[in-house]
Amino acid sequence: MMQQYLALKAEVPSALLLFRMGDFYELFLTDAGVAAAALDIALTHRGEHLGQPLPMCGVPVHAHEAYVARLVKAGHAVAIAEQTEDPAEAKKRGSKSIVNRAIVRVITPGTLTEERLLDGRRANWLLSLFPSTDEVGLAWADISTGDLWLGTARPSALADEIARIAPAEVLAPEGAGYAELPRAAFDSAAAEKRLAARLGVSTLAGFGQFPRAALAAAGGLLTHIEMTARGQAVLLKPPRLHLPGRVMAIDGATRRSLELTDGPTSLLSAIDLTVTAGGGRLLAAELAAPLADLPAIEDRLDLVQWFAADSGLRDEARALLKGAPDAARALGRIAAGRGSPRDLAALRDGLVAAQRLGGLLDSASAGGAPPALDPLRHGLQPPADLLALLEAALVESPPLQPNDGGVIAHGYDAALDELRLLAADSRAAIAALEGDLRARTGVQTLRVKHNNVIGYHVEVAPKAADPLMADPSFFHRQTLGNAMRFDTEALRGLASRIAQAQAHALAAEAAHLETMREGALAAATQIGRVADSLAALDRASALGELAAREGLVRPRLTQGMDFHIAAGRHPVVEAALRRKGEAFVPNDCALEGAARVWLVTGPNMGGKSTFLRQNALIAVLAQAGSFVPAAEATIGLVDRLYSRVGASDSLAEGRSTFMVEMVETAAILNGATDRSLLLLDEVGRGTATWDGLALAWAILESIHDRIGARALFASHYHELAALKSRLDGLALRTMKARQWQGDLVFLHEVGEGAAPGSFGLDVARLAGVPADVLARAGEILLRLEQGDAGRGAKEALSDLPLFAAAPAAPPPADALRARLADILPDSLTPRAALDLLYELKALADD
Ligand SMILES: Nc1ncnc2c1ncn2[C@@H]1O[C@H](COP(=O)(O)OP(=O)(O)OP(=O)(O)O)[C@@H](O)[C@H]1O
């Protein structure tokens, strides 16, 4: 048996092999160790392999899906080897022979189609890379919907592309460091032929001019998809060509820093009002890749505006969309041979919704509609024959499994109806027979029953069985403790009529299901177009709804260098404040001419990071084709967005905070162009004061003089304000704060000029740092500031009395101090710190 196992394992070396043995799937050797750890199940040993105890673990067949899901979520590929014959058949070959087994499925993170393993609102990309001489070919597909993209990237931009696509799985030729495939799989000419053959065309030319490297990558992609499908069909739509210059470049660090699409406080979660899974997937993809192509952005904005302006149309459209199931993924499952009758119903309901939406849009566009509506309106046209078939043939809500019938509607197939009638008649005849038999035997408790083991039978209590035993027309079947079972010729006749009718009915239903499945596959392209149009209309109407609800405005996009935001807001922070009953303070931002670069100073907690981020998010929203949270916005297209705001913790990667900061800053200085938008927050904070200041100074100069990009540069180093006199495009701004009754009050308002100081000590006091430490810090600060003027810091501090010499009153025990002692400042987020401040203030006021 181990031989058979090892042979199968050799077919899928990189996957965990689940080997069917009776009621369990077993894993052996290293697979067993990996799975036991990932699933938290017992690792045992059995027998020996090569003189060592054989490690193994297993999962029960009936619960295996959940275990497979966990393994795949943890990033493993899983192969399933089934028994392909009965143990009895194997026995026939000899008592020692082993049951035949074969791998029937390979499940990898990038090739899922199961509903329960997928996030309905996220695409699930499988990405294949092919590095060629000066570019990398990319091909990525979501086989749950059949979407397929091809493109190329410069090697230096590859990491950004991967961050944008956010694939579930990455493939590459041997030696490239990802999940590896043989080089032979990446043959561009063969891949082009394979793709064309799949799509039933003689050449791909009709879909675009695809670079060779991208086609080579597609070769690897197809190989992997075919390997995992094990002979099952897989849905793939015609490839689309991705042109890198068409989208705003955003690197991975910027994505994380801005929280564009991931996590509960992401931009996406704050603005996503889509009502369909497909619309949700589209919006996520569009926010991840804002456009850099003016006409395409205007098209999107036109549609949003059309919906924003007409609440009646919007409400009706959204109500129709809400009833539209996820036709794209239903089609993916149907193509993969795992579709259920419910998936066919999902197609039907999706197509019906599309048809109705089409009607609604037609009447709404009588008063004028943007040209961008035309292709979508056209795309909504359902495949008429298929829709008619599905509407006529399927019951309203079919069961998940076809096994018990009940899928095909009454009135669709007269022969099927007759079979059903026959079965029903026979059931009625059986009920009548029961009455006859009671009358004949005089046993009033006689019942005709049915179970799955012996089928229809007559049942009486043992003490009432005598008349039946005496009657030769009753055949004895079973004696149980509390019942005796019989049957009769008439009952057998009826039972077999029912069984036959049922079997024929099931066969007829199965044939109709197959016809519908074939019809769906034949119309796959059109269904895909309908699903895409529904998603695009969901996205547009959801953004229209958002604009109306949140008071967003249409941004004006230009080919110039403008960046002019009046009364901008941060959508996520604003929503969070609203939940607390607090108001967000809007702020202007105008980066142009003599104020191309803003140096923003101000106290901690003053709102610098929020201000920087909100302007980046406004640019992202605008170029993704959404209205923006501002009173007015004019934005010259941004080609690249860089945001270095807030410490990103890469300690797990073994880099210190400062190292990460410098790596990211280097990426900005090397990659930014004059059309880029840069946000830098507290550059240099992670190192010694003077080093940090020197770096911040030089970086600011470089952005201003060499790159010439629009930039917001937030810093604690108010010394940088001195640069103002030397850099003609630098403007000074500060987050306003006020001393009030000895406390610092943040106004969250951006004003002209530089902060008078960093207020670090005031914030420390707000946080409850003990008075003696604050007094001492004040003393040191004074010396340093005086020292600044003439001597260096060292001299300034050299004659400062030692801390121990300063009188320190023993701290009295109180609730405030007790609470303070509990705080671990390093583990606090800025939000938590602010909440804590309120708590501490409340304690102090008690
Ligand atoms: N415009 C605003 N209107 C209202 N509240 C705001 C505004 N901006 C920021 N805040 C509030 O102030 C808090 C701190 O903001 P933020 O993190 O931007 O400050 P910061 O100056 O960057 O602080 P640090 O320098 O410590 O990182 C936010 O969590 C938010 O609650």
CA of 616 to the centre of ligand 1 (A): 15
Least confident of 56-70, 360-374, 443-457, 753-767: 753-767
Q: Pick from 327, 335, 285: which is nearest to 113 by CA?
A: 335
pLDDT above 70 as % of the chain? 94
Say how many Å lie between the first and final Cα of the chain, rounded.
Answer: 75
CA atoms within 13 A on the CB side of 214: 22
Distance from residue 686's CA to the centre of ligand 1 (Å):
20
Query: Which ligand 1 atom minimizes the distance to the CA of 610?
Result: 18
Q: Is the CB of 146 under 6 A from ligand 1?
A: no
Give the residue, out of 610, 612, 615, with the most ligand 1 atoms within 8 A of its beta carbon, to mutate for a pocket test.
Answer: 610
List pLDDT tens digits, range 630-641: 999 999 999 999
The secondary structure element, H or E, covering residue 255 is helix 252-258
pLDDT of 803 reads: 44
286 CA distance to ligand 1 middle (Å):
28
Q: Ligand 1: distance of its center to the CA of 610 in Å?
A: 5
* CA gap 768, 666 in Å, rounded: 37
pLDDT band at 686 (very low <50, low <70, confident <90, very high): low
Boundaries of CATH 3.40.50.300 in the chain?
A: 566-762
Q: What is the mean pLDDT of residues 822-844?
A: 82
Residue 108 has pLDDT above 60, yes or no: yes
CATH 1.10.1420.10 residue ranges of the chain are 273-383+532-550, 414-515
Specify the residue with its C-alpha closest to ligand 1, atom 15. Answer: 607
Determine which residue's CA is closest to atom 11 belonging to ligand 1.
607
Say if residue 466's pLDDT is above 60. yes
Phi then psi for residue 487, to 5 deg, are -140, 175
57: pLDDT strictly greater than 80: yes
Classified as helix, coil or strand, 477 is strand
* pLDDT bracket for residue 14 (50, 70, 90): confident
DSSP-derived secondary structure letter, 700: H
Question: Does the beta carbon of 610 lie inside 6 Å of ligand 1?
Answer: yes
Q: What spacing in Å lies between the alpha carbon of 733 and ligand 1's midpoint?
A: 15
605 in contact with ligand 1, CB cutoff 6 A:
yes
The alpha carbons of the chain give a radius of gyration, in whole angstroms, of 35
The CB of 569 under 6 Å from ligand 1? The reply is no
Q: Which residues pair with 58 in a beta bridge?
A: 26
> Residue 27's pLDDT band (boundaries 50, 70, 90)?
very high
The pLDDT value given to residue 177: 60
Residue 603, annotated as binding a ligand: yes
- The more confident residue out of 780 and 479 is 479
Q: Which has the higher per-residue pLDDT, 132 or 623?
A: 623
3-state DSSP assignment of residue 673: coil
Which ligand 1 atom sits nearest the alpha carbon of residue 586? 1
Which residues belong to CATH 3.30.420.110 in the chain? Answer: 121-220+232-242
pLDDT in tens, 780-799: 878 777 765 455 555 555 55
* Residue 616 binned pLDDT confidence (cut-offs 50, 70, 90): very high
Start-end ranges of CATH 3.40.1170.10 in the chain? 2-107
584 lines ligand 1 (CB under 6 A): yes
Predicted confidence at residue 688, as pLDDT, reads 66
Q: How far is the CA of 611 from the centre of ligand 1 (A)?
A: 8
- Integer Cα distance of 93 and 153 in angstroms: 57
Q: CATH class for domain 121-220+232-242?
A: alpha beta
CB 760 near ligand 1, within 6 Å: no
pLDDT of residue 736 exceeding 90, the answer is no
Mean pLDDT of all residues in 680-688: 75
The per-residue pLDDT for range 406-450, each reduced to its tens digit, is: 899 999 999 999 998 888 888 888 889 999 999 988 889 999 998
| pLDDT score recorded for residue 807 | 44
Our answer on whether the CB atom of 766 is closer than 6 Å to any ligand 1 atom is no
Residue 483 to residue 502: CA distance in whole angstroms = 28
Closest approach atom of ligand 1 to CA 602: 21
Task: Kindly state if the Cβ of 734 falls inside 6 Å of ligand 1.
Answer: no
Q: Is 193 annotated as a binding residue?
A: no
Residue-level pLDDT at 650: 45
Q: What are the DSSP calls for 554-568, one per residue?
A: PPEEESS--EEEEEE
Strand partners, 447: 459
Which residue, among 73, 527, 121, 534, has the nearest Cα to 330 in the 3D structure? 527
DSSP state of 703: I
CA distances, 446 to each of 439, 451, 748 (Å) = 10, 16, 86
Q: What is the CA(582)–ligand 1 centre distance, in A?
A: 13
| pLDDT tens track for 211-243 | 999 999 999 999 999 888 888 888 899 999 998
Mean pLDDT is highest, among 383-397, 643-657, 743-757, 781-795, for 383-397
- Which of 147-161, 559-573, 638-652 is the least confident region? 638-652
Residue 100 and residue 86 in contact, taking contact as beta carbons nearer than 8 Å: no
Contact 19, 34 (CB under 8 A): no
Assign a CATH topology to domain 566-762: Rossmann fold (3.40.50)
By C-alpha distance, which of 495, 351, 478 is closest to 422?
A: 495
Note the CATH number of domain 414-515. Answer: 1.10.1420.10
Position in ligand 1 atom list of the atom nearest CA 763: 26
Listed in sequence order, the residues at least 6 apart from 496 whose beta carbon sits closer than 8 Å to its beta carbon are: none
What is the position in ligand 1's atom list of the atom closest to the CA of 612? 18
Q: Compute the distance from residue 257 Cα to the ligand 1 centre, in Å.
A: 15
841 is in an annotated binding site: no
Is residue 573 within 6 Å of ligand 1 at its C-beta? yes
Ligand 1 midpoint to CA 313 (Å): 38
Quick check: CB of 665 below 6 Å from ligand 1?
no
442 has binding-site annotation: no
Decide whether any atom of ligand 1 lies within 6 Å of the 608 Cβ.
Answer: yes
- 10 Å CB burial of residue 431 (0-12, 13-18, 19+) is exposed
450 in contact with ligand 1, CB cutoff 6 A: no
What type of residue sits at position 125?
W
Q: 643 CA to middle of ligand 1, Å? A: 17
Pocket test for ligand 1, best of 570, 574, 584, 605 (most atoms within 8 A of CB): 605
607 is in an annotated binding site: yes
The dotted CATH code for 2-107 is 3.40.1170.10
Q: How far does residue 736's CA lie from ligand 1's centre (Å)?
A: 11
CA distance 830 to 836: 10
Whether 739 has a pLDDT exceeding 80, the answer reads no
Q: What pLDDT does residue 423 have?
A: 83
Mean predicted confidence (pLDDT) in 592-603:
87
Pairwise CA distance, residues 545 & 735, whole Å: 33
More confident residue, 761 or 562: 562
Element counts in the chain: helices (H) and strands (E): 29, 27
Instruction: Say which DSSP state 237 is in.
Output: P
Identify the helix (H) or strand (E) that includes residue 812. Answer: none
Measured between alpha carbons, how far is 618 from 639 in angstroms, rounded to an integer? 14
Q: pLDDT tens for residues 278-291?
A: 999 999 999 999 99
Q: Give 313-341 pLDDT, tens digit per residue.
A: 999 999 999 999 999 999 999 988 888 89
Q: What are phi and psi of 794, to 5 degrees?
A: -60, -50
- Regarding the beta carbon of 613 and ligand 1, being less than 6 Å apart is answered no
571 lines ligand 1 (CB under 6 A): no
Kindly list the strands in the beta sheet with 44-49, ordered across the sheet, starting from the edge strand earlier in the chain: 44-49, 52-60, 24-28, 15-21, 77-83, 101-107
Averaged pLDDT, 806-829: 69
Closest protein CA for atom 9 of ligand 1: 607
| The pLDDT value given to residue 619 | 98
Q: What CATH class does 273-383+532-550 carry? A: mainly alpha
609 alpha carbon to ligand 1 midpoint, in Å? 6
pLDDT at 813 over 90: no
pLDDT at 757: 67
User: How confident is the model over 635-680, as pLDDT tens digits?
Assistant: 999 999 999 876 544 444 556 677 777 878 888 888 899 999 999 9
